[in-house]
Amino acid sequence: MCDRRAGTTMDSLDQLSSAALASKISGEISSVFSKPTAPHPPPLDVLVMELAAVAARKARVFLYGVGREGLMLRALCMRLTHLGLSAHLVFDMTTPPISSHDLLITSAGPGGFSTVDAICQVAKSHGARVLLLTAQPEIGICVRHATAVAYVPAKTMADKEDMDRAEGSISRQLLPMGSLYEGALFVLFEMVVYKLAEALGESPEAIRSRHTNLE
């Protein structure tokens, strides 16, 4: 019995430790949305406004990003399809051509990626609107092509790691490299889906009905 109680106690401690760590990580991501974005409007407002306009004019939305930022945009693309929008991932074999009625959503957290810059340039040359998500709205190279900027004030790969003054070494980060920005994107996109569903009058049943049955 002693062994079983000890095991149960250890399990509880492990669960508490995991919960505390999850809470700390969630808190860091949540703090991003408490930071001021002026002179840029809040990123949630920018995204919902642009996507609602796409739906109203029955246009298409294209999404592109690299690395983990790209994974977050892929997740958003899926939910936009569930909401009834014509949403497409750049470089998919079935992606249609972009036109002047359409919207490109892309991300360059550190301010610029060569591929993101090129895709933005092509979309703009065809008259499409370009919405850029970034943590560097003033100095990034991609912002020059943007017709709308969603400023997400989070740490990215462009920011140096914090240094431990005592030892002069890089301290261990809870959310290393660009993880804070990427986590903020995921949460931001979930808020967008919630707000956009409300704006478009989409019920949970209608959203679920658009999910693939080829699984």
Give the residue numbers marked as catalytic: 182
- 37 membership: H or E segment, kind and range: none
* Cβ atoms of residues 154 and 32 within 8 Å: yes
Rounded Cα–Cα distance for residues 70 and 64 (Å): 6
In this structure, are residues 46 and 150 in contact, taking their beta carbons and an 8 Å threshold? yes
Which H/E stretch holds residue 149? strand 148-151
CA distance 79 to 76: 5
